[in-house]
Structure 1
């Protein structure tokens, strides 16, 4: 019995188990190019873009141009059926001719009555009636002239002409279609000034201001870059994308900068604003805490996990550029972000395949 008690006492004093750790793929993050945080994709537009339309309504009879055509100022672009306008013009001419004839008769009658009134051959009342008829005829003639001028304008407006040199960007009406006054027929871009339009996320719009310098490069023109300045920043975000439209005027665009080209815009840091120190992580390292992006950071002191909110500057095909929330050198979980939890003790390991490591 004594020996049994000794054995039982020995079993009751086991050595404490070592704390278990979970292996996770985690690597230090590296600083990205500082210009990446201020880089935005965009496309080339004309400084002035607008729809072209007739000032009068009617049936579209002819189109003289198509999308992509380059046109000159004063060149006819389309034609409405002119029959109604020509009929109105003919009626206005006839009305003017009748008004001029009545005015001629009223003028002759006024001259006769004034001469007779000086000889006291007619009453003063008759002279006043004659003068009133002359004034009415004169006003009717002036009104008829204005109606003729309006009818001439209406007839001229049945031909749509280019008011500037430019290019047709779209077609929005077909031959035979009945158009209302002001209904768009073509999209039109003026020749000359070019600008680049970019969409800036709301968490980065405070780093963009009117007059800010930028550099524009285009995949279609390798080896070339263009200086630009921010001309306009939208006062409100788009309701669907939650981005702000920013327009940049390109200095000396030349003929090579074509409409619709994709562009890469790099904003220069604003005066008094430090350049953003951005870091790049693989897309697999990004975790979402509700609607907000976050990453799992391995604490250096005790190798436990911390879920830290971050600010995304730009999403790429395989990686994500972070503008805030991480510092270069901090160790981040790169894969398996949905299988770990806050406070969990981990052992960082390298990816099993070297190509999975962030570049």
Structure 2
């Protein structure tokens, strides 16, 4: 009988130990789960500081360079092309001989017209003498005068046709294109050459109408051509169209560039930047920090959060669940608990000014050094706990907040 009682007592002690061990493990699991939940609620973000520096206000656009003047040289008379004096790429002056056509026909026509003109001149001279002596009626005199004038005009026309067999440059420039070869039969009005002026090149921008009162003729502009990477060319605004295109809401701005090196060529595509203002000490933030909603501009700033108050009831329940835990162990466990969320996001309205690449000027609503969220702002709301990810230097604010919470 005594043996049975001893065995039952041992079984009871074993079961009680198992139950107590299970309660202890459950408490630790609940505590770990709570700690993990608190960590998950902090949204990871990246931040940048509002800082002061120079910002440039400018308008940028793309355009194709075109010559300031462009001439298509066409034949004014027909004939076989017998001589060529220029090739593509050659620089020519106004009036320079470019090519010649066969002129035998034109010379024959000129000789015939000259003979007929001389005959009419002689007839008219005789008519003048006769009318003075009243030997012929006035009608015959008038007819002789009209014939003379008509044949003189025919002579001038034949002389011009002969002159047109010599193709001359109408402007200064460079031969951009030669459309004919030696021996070709040239027709009247057929294109022969294309000459472009290289003294200055122009780029035409279609600028939004909100810039109409800002841009002025004479303002400096910069050009970067895709074909010449790393090189920047300076020019100025030549003229501004006085009207806005109603269909597109833009106006034409013509920029002019003088490149003495000859590197710029007509037809090149490039980006034109017009700088119209500069601020040496502007407060700026990255463009990625801005939020545009309902006609307002805002940013999320990161600030220290308020410490989370202790839960007295939960502490009492934990004490009852673990009656054998000493007071010293309880204090040690409380000290090991993670601090309350140390950083929170707050939404602030700002007024922005100029923008320059990735930088945007902030004219009101922020102080220098304020941390603004650049990545992750779409996942936070006003008061959301956040965790800064980008670099140790950005954790200084978090460390200060934790120290303040412990104090």
Normalising by structure 2, what TM-score?
A: 0.52
Instruction: Pick from 40, 54, 60 the counterpart of residue 33 of structure 1.
Output: 54
Bigger Rg, structure 1 or 2: 2
Equivalence for 1:245: 253
The answer on whether the counterparts of 2:233 and 2:257 sit within 8 Å (CA) in structure 1 is: no
Q: Output aligned runs, 1:164-243, within 5 Å.
A: 164-168=171-175, 170-171=176-177, 173-175=179-181, 176=184, 181=189, 185-191=193-199, 194=200, 197=203, 199=205, 201-202=207-208, 204-212=211-219, 214=220, 229-235=236-242, 236=244
Equivalence for 1:11: none
The answer on whether the counterparts of 1:298 and 1:333 sit within 8 Å (CA) in structure 2 is: yes
Instruction: Pick from 65, 68, 76 the counterpart of residue 89 of structure 2.
Output: 68
> Is 2:26 the partner of 1:24?
no
Q: How many residues align?
A: 305
Q: Secondary structure at the residue paired with 2:153? A: helix
The answer on whether the counterparts of 1:217 and 1:263 sit within 8 Å (CA) in structure 2 is: yes
Q: 1:274 to 1:349 in 2, by over 3 A?
A: closer
Q: 1:106 to 1:278 in 2, by over 3 A?
A: farther
Offset of 1:171 from its aligned partner? Answer: 1.7
Distance 1:46 1:238 in 2: 25
Q: Secondary structure at the residue paired with 2:126? A: helix
Distance 2:283 2:164 in 1: 57
The answer on whether the counterparts of 1:278 and 1:324 sit within 8 Å (CA) in structure 2 is: yes
The answer on whether the counterparts of 2:64 and 2:204 sit within 8 Å (CA) in structure 1 is: no
Q: 1:217 to 1:156 in 2, by over 3 A?
A: same
Distance 1:172 1:313 in 2: 47
Instruction: Pick from 113, 123, 143 the counterpart of residue 105 of structure 1.
Output: 123
Distance 2:87 2:281 in 1: 46
More helix by share: 2
Equivalence for 2:386: 347
Offset of 1:133 from its aligned partner? Answer: 2.3
Distance 1:349 1:25 in 2: 6
Equivalence for 1:56: 76
Offset of 1:298 from its aligned partner? Answer: 0.7
Offset of 1:195 from its aligned partner? Answer: 5.7
Distance 1:48 1:305 in 2: 53
Gaps of 5+ in 1: 1-14, 355-359
Distance 2:162 2:362 in 1: 63
Normalising by structure 1, what TM-score?
A: 0.58
Q: 1:107 to 1:75 in 2, by over 3 A?
A: closer
Offset of 1:209 from its aligned partner? Answer: 0.5
Q: Deviations over 1:213-250 (max 9, x none)?
A: x3758897999996x54321244579889674332466
Q: Output aligned runs, 1:126-145, within 5 Å.
A: 127-128=136-137, 131-145=138-152
Distance 1:181 1:331 in 2: 71
RMSD of aligned residue pairs (Cα, Å)? 5.5
Distance 1:53 1:186 in 2: 6
Q: Secondary structure at the residue paired with 1:211? A: coil
Q: 1:299 to 1:351 in 2, by over 3 A?
A: closer
Distance 1:244 1:51 in 2: 23
Distance 1:332 1:151 in 2: 83
